[in-house]
């Protein structure tokens, strides 16, 4: 059985609240889980100590049993210092699209053309 430590969504529309759960990876996101390990409330400010609460003993137990944390839960574990920081490659998501690159090139040409007469006037 492939185990995951992941988030199960709760709360109302536009007011999310998540439970950190240990579950079989084949179960639905908000479906059956084996154990609730903590909570995550994204509505609280980032520095708030109640934003992420985890029972670290149980989390370590499930990690020892072979459970794999999802990306978001892995970040929570890294922030708490219980897991080493992983290098993440954001290969294409951070690069601007084709149209944005074309607009940037046009803007650079216009700025260059506008700067050329100003430089000539400054030299005289």
- Best CATH choice for the domain 3-80 from the list 3.30.1320.10, 3.40.50.720, 3.30.70.330, 3.90.1150.10: 3.30.1320.10
pLDDT at res. 115: 78
* More confident call, 39 vs 120: 39
| Torsion from C-alpha of 91, 93, 94, 98, nearest 10 degrees | 110
- pLDDT reported for residue 1: 64
* Alpha-carbon gap, residue 83 to 75, rounded angstroms: 9
At residue 119, the pLDDT reads 61
Q: What is the pTM of this model?
A: 0.68
Question: How do 68-69 and 3-12 pair as beta strands?
Answer: parallel
Round to whole Å and give the CA distance between 16 and 28. 17
């Amino acid at each position: 059985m492939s185990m995951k430590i992941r988030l199960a969504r709760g709360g109302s529309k536009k007011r999310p609240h998540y439970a950190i759960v240990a579950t079989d990876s084949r179960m639905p996101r908000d479906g059956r889980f084996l154990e609730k390990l903590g909570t995550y409330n994204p509505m609280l400010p980032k520095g708030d100590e109640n934003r992420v609460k985890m029972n670290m003993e149980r989390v370590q137990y499930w990690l020892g049993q072979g459970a794999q944390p999802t990306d978001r839960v892995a970040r929570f574990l890294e922030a708490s210092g219980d897991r080493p920081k992983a290098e993440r490659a954001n290969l294409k998501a951070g690069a601007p699209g084709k149209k944005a690159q074309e607009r940037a090139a046009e803007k650079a040409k216009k700025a260059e053309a506008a700067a050329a007469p100003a430089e000539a006037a400054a030299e005289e």
